[in-house]
Amino acid sequence: MAILVNWFEVTFDRKHFDLPYLDAATWEESTPIVQEHREADIVRMREDGRIRLYFVTGRPNSAAQVETLATHGRIGVMARIVEKNLGEHFRSSGAHISMSRWGIEATREVQRFPAAGLVLRQGIHVKYFAVVDAGFRNGITINWVVRPYFFLPIAELPNSHSYEGYPVILRWPASAGPCP
């Protein structure tokens, strides 16, 4: 029995997805297809010596074939379907979404520090995680995140600040000359 910490099961209404796909001989030959369809979510997988590009969203401009994939099938494709749908759900409620191959982050602004050009966002990081146990095929892990973002470049920050709160002692290296 697997111990699943911070793991939540994902269930599907449908047990199969019909996804369009294109095949390419090499990874390099598949790259122009991905670049041509930047708006689409495409999962590239190596299969039997070829590269198969599954279109999770969008459709290829050329004649594509359609493959029926089971929800307990290809983990990379299921991960993109789950993460894309969760991201769109959080986006519809006003969250800022960042997607990467490591999952999605859904965050909201909680505090802004205009004098420092800094914004704090908090929310969750979601990653698809498949389990080989037949009873738990699809799931997600959720972790709490707090992300700082600078919204001003350093050149636009004020030249002087009033510092309130705990003192901070900084040591300027003598080799760098006089401290500005």
Q: Which tens digits make up the pLDDT trace of 65-119?
A: 899 988 877 888 888 888 998 999 999 999 999 988 888 999 999 999 888 888 9
How crowded is residue 50: how many other Cβ atoms within 10 Å of its Cβ? Answer: 13
Whether 152 has a pLDDT exceeding 80, the answer reads yes
Torsion of CA 157, 160, 166, 171, to 10 degrees: 90
Write down the mean pLDDT value for the chain: 84
DSSP E strand stretches across the chain:
7-9, 16-24, 42-47, 50-55, 65-70, 96-100, 103-113, 118-128, 139-150
Q: CA-CA distance, 122 to 96, in Å (whole number)?
A: 10
Phi/psi at 56 (5° precision): -75, -40
Mean pLDDT over 19-24 rounds to: 92
DSSP lists the bridge partners of residue 142 as 126
Q: Domain-by-domain residue ranges, the chain?
A: 7-156
pLDDT band at 134 (very low <50, low <70, confident <90, very high): low
In this prediction, residue 102 carries a pLDDT of 87
In this prediction, residue 153 carries a pLDDT of 82
